[in-house]
Every structure is written in structure tokens, then in C-alpha cells.
Amino acid sequence: MSTLVRDRAPVQTGLVSVRAPRKRLSRRTLILGGAGVVWLIGFLFLHGTATLTLPASELTDLHRSLNQFNAWVASNRADNPVFQYVFTPLRAAVDAVANLFIGIFAASSTGLRLPEIGWLGTVALLSWIAFAVGNARVALLTAAAFVFFGLQGLFVEAAYTFALVITAVLFTLLIGIPLGVLAGVYGRVAKVITPVLDFMQTLPTFVYLAPLALIFLIGPASAVIATVIYAAPPVIRLTAHGIRCIPENTREASDSLGTTGWQRLLTLQLPLARRTIVMGINQTTMAALSMVTIAALIAAPGLGQVVIRALQSLDVGTAVNAGLSIVLLAIVLDRVTTAASRRAEPGANRKRRISRRTRYILLAATLLVVLAMVQLSRTMLWAAAFPKDLNIGPAIVSGVSSASEWLQTNLFLFTVSFREAVTNGILNPFQSLLTETPFYLLVAVIVLAAFALGGWKLAAVTATCLAVIIYLGLWSDSMVTLAGTLVATAVVMVLGVIFGVAMGRSSKVDQLMRPMLDAGQTMPAFVYLVPFLGLFGATRFTAIIAGIIYAAPVAIKITADGIAAISPTVMEAAVSSGSTPWQVITKVQLPMARQSLALAANQGLIYVLAMVVVGALVGAGGLGYDVVAGFVQSSLFGKGLAAGLAIVFLGILLDRMTQAAAANPVRKVLSAKSPAH
Amino acid sequence: MSSPDISVRNLWKVFGPGGEKIPKDPELSALSSAELLERTGCNAAVRDMNFDVAKGEVFVVMGLSGSGKSTLIRCLTRLIEPTSGSVLVDGKDVMQAGTGELRELRRRKMSMVFQHFGLLPHRTVLDNVSYGLQIRGAAKNERYARSHEIIELVGLKGYEQHFPDQLSGGMQQRVGLGRALAGDPDTILFDEPFSALDPLIRRDMQAEVIRLHKEMGKTMVFVTHDLSEALKLGDRILIMRNGETVQCGTGDDLVGSPADKYIADFVSEVPRADVLTLKWITDPVAFGTPADAPVLSAGTIIRDAIPTVMNSLCPVLVEDSGKITGQIDRDSILSVIRSTEVAA
């Protein structure tokens, strides 16, 4: 007892010295709170003034000059040297490759417009490739999926999409793998490339379509180029990572034997990085599929166009039918590339059930069958074009349409009242708070908040972003998009914490949820809109729900990983000192997973922003609407381009602010103080 | 002793910004490691080292972790670039070698065995052993034939097609050893090769190294933190502390006349009777010792002298190169054994 009492005195002096950082923390909260109060008071007295609203059909001078630029490009395309010697040949080259694959799998450019190797040949060849790079199971899946596309009446569309994905992946790998290897070998290259990749990945898919269409015209070429830009970062990053993460002792051992740089690359780095590189190819392929479907907005042929047309005419049945194809195609591409990455694992050879020679014989034999089927497809019409009478597409379309109608009429009470309650209760008030506050007040509040979170530097970045948005003439639309994004992100974070904690605490829940989340992440952004269109109709609300569903998996996974990464010793200590599960969650797990939570919020925001913009297709207003309208009406081209830029700057702003919030302030204060002691 | 195989002169390795200035600066280079770190933020891992390794010798570098021994051995083939000094291998300075010469040196003259094996996980045992030969461009048949011989030599016959992760730690290190031997280098460098292995396997592997040394007679530079390993393997032992040589000599020298308290502490637990030779306990010939008493050489290990001394009724004479230098008796042997126990 006496020792306990004696010990108490130093403990208290310890408390006093700890108080200093607390004060600093509360200063941050103070500024944030102060900014909030100023905002609310300002809103009460000044709302409705200086809102910078710009009606949908009106343009600013900037938009008009962008329109003129568009016209200038159109008229000078033929004789400007930059176009003559750079863009036009590039476009022709990409087009040639794309048309090659389109000709083989989808439709030849002449005659009956049948695919060169027919549907039967396509199914056979692709299944054989799946078998060769993966295994029999994924080959069967490939065959089943492509036959099902035929049954849906969408074989040609699916083949178009597939051909574009293959073209884009080919170009991406041609550029991405060498770049990744360079970045892995030379630290200096990595230093230059990394920020560029970071920037590319925070851009919503949508925004570079318009500028690319301006340069490369609409059609397959610009779709492929947009896809390459979008899909390149994962393979570059993962290749570089694989090359760089060779265990130090293995590398040293190889050096000690006198390897040259090339020998090291060929015998050590590339073989050991193979699995990581194939994982990069997997991610790149999924990203490519996502982008190729969205590129339908700039007239890329394929399933995306079917979905977009259906979304625009609110034809839920057709959208679901085509959406189903996209999902299936995504599953096939994911499974085949995942199987390929397993095969690429070092030592995968020895776990094989059949010997190498048997495998080669089997491959050669099946290749003969494939060639026979291709030949058959080139001679028999039934094997060239998918038989029309085997078409269950219309049945799916009408079935889904009536189901959707039934849902909308019978669940009317539930869906509509839920929608209206959220729209009127949360969305509208928050949106008007943002749009009706005078812009100067809101800019001041946001910059102040940025200062509290990240100091002068962040405040400067934020102020610049906001200034650009104002200059672009799209302040009010940006605030509409911001409102939707913030509401959706809030919901995403609630979901992320609930499911993430559940997954982090129980491996059973984790095993149950993870495959679903993985599947959710591989789906193209687009298809999320479809089911909610069926439930809630074409409104802003639908877009926000789709954004939430699209962003939730990544937020949940990051949170779950953060919680699962807490050392078991800490957990044991917490439990052994008698904490209740609730106390463990709130006092240990969530505070320790703080960084992960902030990262989850950051990623959630980026995903939601991308989706809220795509949601313009089903009635979300704001910047997304301006972008889509810019594609459709040439008089709105400039405004659409400006809106794309505004999205970029909004994205940068949100990204930087959440990243600053993620940096741990307590530790900063302590380390800043320590030299003084 | 022929001309030394490796001779190291004034070798420095200083980590940290501006480290290259320190060896030249008389004031800074005189500072202790801690002071140097305080003053310049640089860490001198190897400080002005000088030693020679003779052809066919097993030269052990011993020290605790952080003493700079692993840095030192890497400086020999410039896996870590030394800051200054010279490393002469067969009379040629490694420090002056160009990229190509250095590569040739690594390929043909010196190969290395690592603590964590550094095997290539995607290659079989056979391909790991033949890796060095492949690197220097040997044809497939040739390198496989050679590798099969080596695999048999290191006792891995039958495991050619296994992958490293299918082998135990001891067997993996046999692969590492095989890889180093395959190129038939003049010198093999060992960087704590057995400290990741459990004690029984370690003993086997030490015996293996002794056997290979007897059979092939290669020069070996062996880094370890284990004194008993050093005494067991080393013809000569260099003890390092804070990047500097503390003492360099035979095991016998270190135990018999430690240079300072640091070494004395180090060797205090060594069973002295197992290491020391008779010359350390030889007393002057006493008056009553008969001239026909048994004679032992001064280089005999004390423990090996015990049977002779026990069977003799009188003290035993000690001779060194044909001259009687003194005598020993039961008391002198017992006092050596006792002193070890007291120190322990």
C-alpha cells in the first residue's frame, strides 16, 4: 500500500506535463468550431446573396472561349503540325489495333460484318487462353459467360467491349511494365513518377474523356487512350513495387556472385516480381473494363452504350440485362487474371497435379480443337453469328422491367417515402446551406478549416483550388456536387466503421464479407446505378445511393485492415484489465485505427466523388450534369470542359484536406516540443 | 607462409553524410565512435583496420553485434563501398578495380555465404547452386555437371529438384555453401553463416566447414559472434569492437594473454584447458625432475596432456623445437582447470 501512495506524486506531475499538447489539440477544435459558428451566423443574415448561381443553359466568357478553342481545333485538325505528326498518327495506330481485335471478336469491317473467328471460335479461343494462363475451372467459366452473352442477345456488344479492353490492356502493359521496371530499378524515376500516378488516381474517370475526345475525336481510339491513362497506374505501381521489394539478402547474395545489372533484372528481380506484376495486370484489366464502359459517353462501342442508352431512356430492363453482362465480363476477367497470378507464384509448378509434358500435350490437343471450331465458324453461319432464336434477352428485359414496376408501385410507400425523407430531411437543407451561403463567406470558412487542419500550406492549396473553381464559373454547381459527396461520404464512413469493426474483430465475419467486398470493388462504376434506378427512379438520391454502395467496400476494407492490424498484445492487455467489448472498441481499437479511418475517409471521398459525377446520367445535377451535357451539346462543350476541371480541383481539395486530417496532430506537437526539454 | 592472399590496409567505412572526410581528418578520426556520432552524425563502422589473411588460412573475425564485422567482410568485395583504405587481393587493390574487374573478382576469386542464406526462392537447389556459373556464362551441361559434384560434396544428393522453402535451415545453408563453392573461388567469405541455425545443426555445419577446408584447402574469412565457433574454426582470430581491432592472434594467444579487460571478459568462460597449450603453464625444470621423464611438445593442448601426466609418477618435460623449456605436473594442470571454474 505504502508504495502505491508514494508512487502517486510523480504520476501527477506527469499529468501536468501532458496537458500542454491537449491545449494545442483544443486550439484546432476551437478554430474549426469558430469557423462553423461564423458560417451559421453568416448564413442566417446573408443567405441567398452572392451565390454565383449560373443557370444550366448560360455560359461565362471562359466557357465561350473554350467553345471557340473547340471550333479552332476542329478546323485546324487537318493542317496543324502537332495534329499532323503526333495526334493523328497516334490515333491511327491505336485505331488499327482496336479494329484488329474488333474484327476478330466482334464484327469485321466488310461483308456480313461477322466476327472473323465467329462466336463459336471466339468462345473456344478465349476459353483455351483462359486454360493456358489459368486453369480448367476459369476456362469453363469463360465459355459459360460468353455463351450466356449470346443468350442475352448481347454477344456482339460484349465482344466489342472485350476487344477494346484487350486493346487498352495491351497498350497499357506495353507502356506500364517497362515504366514500372524503370521506376523499380531507379529510385529517381520512381520519385518523378509517383506524384503523377497519385494525381492520375485521384481524378474521377469522367473528366479526361472530354479533352481526349477533343484531341482524338470520339470513337474507339480516344476510348482506348482514356482507358490507358486510367488503367496504367496500378500496373506501373505494382511492377515497381515487385522489383523494389526483392529481399535485401537475396539481392546481396546475387551481387556477391558478380551479376551485372541486366543479369540481376532477368534472373532475380523479374522472376521474383512476376506474381506482383500479374496482380498489377489483374487490377489494370479491371480498371480498363470500368473505363471502357464509361467511354461509351464518347461513342466507344459495346455494352456501355447499351447501358447509357437505357439509362437515358429510363429503360431499367435493358440496363439490367446489359449491366449483367458487364458484371459477368468483370467476373471472368478477374478470375482468369487471378488464376494467372496464382500460376505465376514462385514454386507454383511443383504443386501441379499433372506433369509439364502432359500439360503441353493437353494444350496442343485442345488448340487443335479450337482451330477446328474457328474453321467451322468461318464456314457455317450458325457458328459465325450467334443464333437469333436462342435469345433470352427480351425475357430478361421484360421480366426486370415488370419487377421494377412492381417494386416501384408496391414498395412505393417505402422507397419513395425513404427517398423523400432523406432528400428533404438531409440532402436539401445541407445543399442549400452550401449553395446559398455567400461564396466569400464559404471560401473563408473552408480556408480557415484547412488552416486548422494543415497550417498555412494547406490553406494556400485550398484557397487556390477554390479560386480556380470560382474562375471556372461553376461555384454553385460545385457546391451541389460537394453536398452530395459529403452526405454520401458520411454514410460510407458510418458503414465503414460498423462493418470494418465487425470484420476486424471476427475472422468469421471477415471471411464472409471479404469476397463480397472484393467482388464489389471489381465492378465498373456504371453498373451500380442500374439496380437503384429500378428502385428509386431517376433522381439525385439514386446517384448518391449508388455512390455509397460503390465507395463502401474500399472504406470497409481499409477500416477492417486497420483494426485487424492492432497488435494482439494490446488487445489482450485491454481485455485483461477488464474492458467491456464496447470499451475495447471505443477506447482501443478505433483510436488506434485512426490513421486507417482517415485513409478510409480519403478513399471513400474519392470514390464517392467519381460516382456522384457519373450519377449525372440518372438525374444528379451539379458538375456531372454539366460534363454530360457538354458531351451531348456542342454549345455546352466549353462549360462541360470547365466542369471537368472543377471536378479535378474539388477532388484535389477534398483529397488534401482529408490527408491533412489523417496526419496525427498529437504526435506532431510532442515531437515539436521534445527538443525544448 | 607465402605472400598473403588478402591484405587490408587502413580500411575505413563511415556511414552518414560527409563520412568520406573523416578518415583524412586527424582530429575527427581520433574521436571515439560515440563522440563522432555526436559531433558529425556519422557512424564509423570500420575504423582503420589492418590485417593479412594467408593462403589456405581460416581467418575468423569476431565481435558482438554492431561491432562492424559484417560491414568489414562486405568491404572486401565492395558489396559495401569502403570509405578509404585498400584491400589487396593477390597483390591487386580491389579499391582500384573497375566495374568489370570487380565483377570478375566476385565471380571467380571470392564468393560469400550469408547469414540468411539469400537463396533464390524461384529456383531449385540445382539451379541455385549453378547460379554463379550461369552468371559467368557457363554452358548448361558444364554447369549442371559441376553443380551435381558440388551438391554431392555438401551432402545434398537427392535434393537437386527441391525448392529452398522445402528444405530445413541447415540444408538451405548447405545450398548457400554449395553456391559459393561451385565457382571454385580462391576465398570463401562467411557472414555469420550458422547463427540462424539451431545448436545441433550448427555443430554439424561447423564440422562440415572443417571437413571442406581440409579437403579443398580454400582460404576462408569467417565472421561470427560466437567465441566457441571462432576458437573451433579459426587458425587466427581477430576481435573487433566499435569498428576497431582489439586483438588479433591464435585462439591460444587470446585466451592465454588477452590484450585488455574486454577480451579477458570475453574469454573468461572458455574452458582454458581445451584451448591453451602447454607453453602457458610451463614451469622451470625443478631440481628433482629426472632426465628420462616423459616429454611433450609445447604445442600440445593442456587437456591432451592429462593422460601422460596422470600416468607419470614425476613431472613431465616440455620441449619446444627440440629444446627442453620446462616441466609441468598435476598441480599446474589442475590450477588451469580451477581458474576456469572460478572465472565462470
Ranges of each domain in chain B:
6-270, 273-343
What per-residue confidence (pLDDT) applies to B148? 94
What per-residue confidence (pLDDT) applies to B224? 92
Using alpha carbons, list the distances in angstroms from residue A360 to A344, A355, A367, A368. Answer: 17, 9, 10, 12
Compute the distance between CA of residue A185 and CA of residue A2 in angstroms, rounded to an integer: 63
B121–A260 CB contact, under 8 Å: no
Inform me whether the pLDDT recorded for A528 exceeds 50. Answer: yes
Inform me whether the pLDDT recorded for A466 exceeds 80. Answer: yes
CB A167 within 8 Å of CB A219: no
pLDDT of B42-58, one tens digit each? 888 998 899 999 999 99
pLDDT above 90 covers a percentage of chain A that reads 25
Inform me whether the pLDDT recorded for A97 exceeds 90. Answer: yes
CB A351 within 8 Å of CB A135: no
* Residue A291, φ and ψ in degrees, nearest 5: -75, -40
pLDDT of A262-286, one tens digit each? 889 988 899 888 888 998 999 899 9
- Ordered DSSP codes for A57-122: T---HHHHHHHHHHHHHHHHTTT-HHIIIIIHHHHHHHHHHHHHHHHHHT--SSTT---TTHHHHH
Residue A547 lies in a domain: yes
Half-sphere exposure of B78 (CA within 13 A, CB side): 23
Mutate to test the interface with B, among A250, A256, A259 (most CBs of B within 10 A): A256
Taking CB atoms and an 8 Å cut-off, how many pairs form between chains A and B?
Answer: 75
By Cβ distance, the residue of A251, A257, A274 closest to B131 is A257
Residue A411 lies in a domain: no
Q: Tell me, what CATH number does A598's domain have?
A: 1.10.3720.10
Give the full edge-to-edge strand order of the sheet including B323-328.
B295-297, B316-320, B323-328
By Cβ distance, the residue of A272, A274, A347 closest to B165 is A347
**B 18-77 residues inside an 8 A Cβ radius of A:** 74, 77
Compute the distance between CA of residue A315 and CA of residue A307 in angstroms, rounded to an integer: 9
- Residue range(s) defining the domain that contains residue A490: 475-660
Compute the distance between CA of residue A38 and CA of residue A75 in angstroms, rounded to an integer: 51
DSSP state of B57: -
What per-residue confidence (pLDDT) applies to A7? 41
> What integer best gives the mean pLDDT of chain A?
84
For residue A343, give the C-alpha cell. Answer: 500460376
Q: What is the mean pLDDT of residues A232-260?
A: 89
- Ordered DSSP codes for A126-193: HHHHHHHHS-HHHHHHHHHHHHHHHHTT-HHHHHHHHHHHHHHHHHHHHHHHHHHHHHHH-HHHHHHH
Residues in chain B: 344
What per-residue confidence (pLDDT) applies to A17? 45
Using pLDDT thresholds of 50, 70 and 90, give the confidence band for residue A346. low
* Residue B299, φ and ψ in degrees, nearest 5: -85, 5
Task: Sort out which chain A residues have CB atoms less than 8 A from B118's CB and list them.
Answer: 247, 249-254
CB A303 within 8 Å of CB A322: yes
Compute the distance between CA of residue B213 and CA of residue B55 in angstroms, rounded to an integer: 12
Inform me whether the pLDDT recorded for A677 exceeds 60. Answer: no
CB A339 within 8 Å of CB A287: no
Residue A225 lies in a domain: no
Compute the distance between CA of residue B35 and CA of residue B17 in angstroms, rounded to an integer: 16
- Asked if B134 has any chain A CB less than 8 Å from its own CB, the reply is yes
Compute the distance between CA of residue B241 and CA of residue B32 in angstroms, rounded to an integer: 11
By Cβ distance, the residue of B105, B118, B132 closest to A249 is B118
CB A304 within 8 Å of CB A292: yes
What per-residue confidence (pLDDT) applies to A13? 41
Angle at A389 between CA A388 and CA A394, to 5 degrees: 85
Which residues, including other chains, have CB under 8 Å from residue A211's CB and lie 6 or more apart? A641, A644
Using alpha carbons, list the distances in angstroms from residue B25 to B11, B30, B81, B128. Answer: 14, 8, 19, 45
Which residues, including other chains, have CB under 8 Å from residue B214's CB and lie 6 or more apart? none
Which residues, including other chains, have CB under 8 Å from residue A498's CB and lie 6 or more apart? none
Compute the distance between CA of residue A487 and CA of residue A241 in angstroms, rounded to an integer: 35
Residue A58 lies in a domain: no
pLDDT of A137-170, one tens digit each? 999 999 999 999 999 999 999 999 999 999 999 9
Could you tell me which residue, A592 or A4, shows the higher pLDDT?
Answer: A592
Q: Return the CATH number of the domain spanning residue range B273-343.
A: 3.10.580.10
Continuous H helices in B51-161: 69-76, 99-104, 125-129, 131-135, 140-153
Report whether CATH 2.40.50.100 matches the domain B6-270: no
What per-residue confidence (pLDDT) applies to A671? 38
Compute the distance between CA of residue A377 and CA of residue B223 in angstroms, rounded to an integer: 70
pLDDT of B153-169, one tens digit each? 888 999 999 988 889 88
3-class DSSP assignment, residue A380: coil
Indicate the pairing of strand B92-93 with strand B295-297: unpaired
* Residue A509, φ and ψ in degrees, nearest 5: -60, -40
Which residues, including other chains, have CB under 8 Å from residue A289's CB and lie 6 or more apart? A161, A165, A326, A329, A330, A333, A524
* Residue A227, φ and ψ in degrees, nearest 5: -65, -40
Residue A32 lies in a domain: no
How close does chain A come to B135, measured CA to CA in Å? Answer: 6
Using pLDDT thresholds of 50, 70 and 90, give the confidence band for residue A3. very low
Residue A109 lies in a domain: no
B132–A258 CB contact, under 8 Å: yes
Compute the distance between CA of residue B336 and CA of residue A28 in angstroms, rounded to an integer: 73
A254–B118 CB contact, under 8 Å: yes
How close does chain B come to A270, measured CA to CA in Å? Answer: 11
Compute the distance between CA of residue B112 and CA of residue B187 in angstroms, rounded to an integer: 9
- Asked if B310 has any chain A CB less than 8 Å from its own CB, the reply is no
For residue A217, give the C-alpha cell. Answer: 475525336
Half-sphere exposure of B156 (CA within 13 A, CB side): 32
Mutate to test the interface with B, among A249, A250, A257 (most CBs of B within 10 A): A257
Residue A312 lies in a domain: no
How close does chain B come to A235, measured CA to CA in Å? Answer: 22
* Residue A9, φ and ψ in degrees, nearest 5: -55, -55
Using alpha carbons, list the distances in angstroms from residue B317 to A234, A295, B296, B306. Answer: 80, 100, 6, 13
Residue (of B118, B169, B123) closest to B147 by Cα position: B123
> What integer best gives the mean pLDDT of chain B?
87
Dihedral of the CA atoms B125, B129, B132, B137 (nearest 10)? -80
DSSP state of B167: S
Give, to the nearest 10 degrees, the angle between helix A622-632 and helix A475-505. Answer: 120
Continuous H helices in A344-392: 356-379, 381-384
Compute the distance between CA of residue A124 and CA of residue A105 in angstroms, rounded to an integer: 11
Angle at B225 between CA B220 and CA B226, to 5 degrees: 90
The enclosing H or E element of B89 equals strand B84-89
Inform me whether the pLDDT recorded for A672 exceeds 70. Answer: no
* Residue A480, φ and ψ in degrees, nearest 5: -60, -50
Task: Sort out which chain B residues have CB atoms less than 8 A from A260's CB and list them.
Answer: 103
Residue (of B71, B27, B61) closest to B237 by Cα position: B61
Inform me whether the pLDDT recorded for B218 exceeds 80. Answer: yes
pLDDT of B54-98, one tens digit each? 999 999 999 888 888 999 999 998 989 999 999 999 888 989 988
Residue in chain B closest to A263 (alpha carbons) equals B135
Compute the distance between CA of residue A417 and CA of residue A430 in angstroms, rounded to an integer: 19
Compute the distance between CA of residue A497 and CA of residue A499 in angstroms, rounded to an integer: 6
CB B237 within 8 Å of CB B251: yes
Residue A190 lies in a domain: no
Query: Which amino acid type is present at position A379?
Result: T
Structural domain count of chain A: 1
Residue (of A608, A586, A617) closest to A655 by Cα position: A608
pLDDT of A190-205, one tens digit each? 899 988 888 887 777 7
